[in-house]
């Protein structure tokens, strides 16, 4: 595991953007694994700037997102499809048909999970997968207890995850109870993985992760079983590990 320590959120974002842009410059047909949440927002802002300021072209890039809420239509303001369109895709020159996110409305959900895993194998796996980390160590929506062998599947969200994501909804009861997520095994298929962590609220999780003990109680720890993981962490997130 490669550890890159930076000062703050801005530096984490620009350092991550450099790695993503280098991947696209090396291979214009790159497949990128993307995440939602607060952590990658600064990275996405940098990548949007990269199109005009650094001539980065996303014309032939394909993207695979980690997860999507069950039951939310693509145009629902809290769907991850809506988030990705608003925060990144609409502002870069990627054809929308090159962007892939599980369909939260598809039924039966098991069929959608199998379709998405087959898609990962068909167009991917990602050359580079971006990950944020939950305070309980979740990656994607893989909560503690998820086995390392898991592929794309439907999960019941933990109360702590629903509470933490309630900030995006007008009412906590509106937070969906289930989501489709790439499994741990699906994530580990990626050639390289880039984990981002910023802020004091991630300090305990970063400390736990850097302990290096692999256990399903802390899903991010399975990343230690992958050969090409980079963690970019800012001072606050690193503060308990130091």
The backbone torsions φ and ψ at residue 179, rounded to the nearest 5 degrees and listed phi first, read -150, 160
Stretch that binds ligand F6R, among 23-31, 139-147, 169-177, 210-218 (CB under 6 A): 139-147
Question: Nearest to ligand F6R by Cβ — which residue?
Answer: 132
Residue 188 binds ligand F6R, judged by CB under 6 A: no
State the nearest-atom distance from the C-beta of 42 to ligand F6R, in Å.
Answer: 11
How many residues in the shown chain lie near ligand F6R by CB under 6 A?
14
Q: List Cβ neighbours of 97 (8 Å cut-off, separation of 6 or more).
A: none
Residues 143-172 within binding reach of ligand F6R (CB under 6 A) = none
Which stretch, 6-14, 35-43, 147-155, 216-224, contacts ligand F6R (CB under 6 A)?
Answer: 35-43
Q: Tokens standing for 211?
A: 């302990």
Q: Are 107 and 71 in contact (CB under 8 A)?
A: no
The DSSP secondary structure of 198-224, one letter per residue, reads: -SGGGHHHHHHHHH----TTSGGGGGG
Residue count (the chain):
242
Residue 38 binds ligand F6R (CB under 6 A): yes
Instruction: Decide if 236 contacts 197 (C-beta within 8 A).
Output: no
CB 57 to ligand F6R: min, Å = 25
* 65 annotated active-site: no
Residues in 53-72 at the binding interface with ligand F6R, rule: CB under 6 A: 66-67
Residue 16, CB-side half-sphere exposure with 13 Å CA sphere: 35
- 153 has catalytic annotation: no
Exactly one of 112, 117, 143, 234 is catalytic; name it.
Answer: 143
d(CA 213, CA 48): 37
Binding site for ligand F6R (CB under 6 A): 35-39, 66-67, 132-134, 138-141
Catalytic residues: 67, 136, 138, 143
């Amino acid at each position: 595991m490669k550890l890159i320590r930076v000062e703050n959120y801005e530096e984490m974002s620009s350092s991550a953007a450099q790695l993503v842009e280098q991947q696209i410059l090396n291979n214009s047909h790159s497949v990128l694994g993307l995440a939602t949440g607060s952590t990658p927002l600064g990275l996405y802002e940098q990548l949007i700037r990269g199109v005009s300021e650094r001539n980065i072209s996303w014309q032939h890039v394909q993207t695979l997102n980690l997860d999507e809420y069950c039951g939310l239509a693509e145009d629902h303001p809290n769907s991850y499809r809506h988030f990705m369109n608003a925060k990144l895709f609409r502002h870069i020159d990627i054809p929308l048909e090159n962007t892939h996110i599980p369909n939260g409305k598809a039924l039966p959900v098991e069929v959608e999970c199998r379709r998405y895993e087959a898609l990962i194998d068909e167009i991917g796996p990602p050359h580079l997968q971006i990950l944020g980390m939950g305070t309980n160590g979740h990656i994607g929506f893989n909560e503690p207890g998820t086995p390392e062998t898991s592929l794309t599947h439907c999960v019941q969200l933990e109360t702590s995850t629903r509470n933490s994501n309630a900030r995006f909804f007008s009412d906590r009861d509106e937070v969906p109870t289930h989501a489709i997520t790439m499994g741990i095994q699906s994530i580990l298929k990626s050639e390289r993985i880039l984990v981002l962590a910023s802020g004091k609220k991630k300090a305990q999780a970063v400390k736990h992760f850097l302990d290096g003990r692999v256990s399903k109680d802390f899903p991010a720890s399975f990343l230690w079983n992958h050969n090409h993981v980079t963690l970019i962490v800012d001072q606050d997130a690193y503060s308990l590990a130091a």
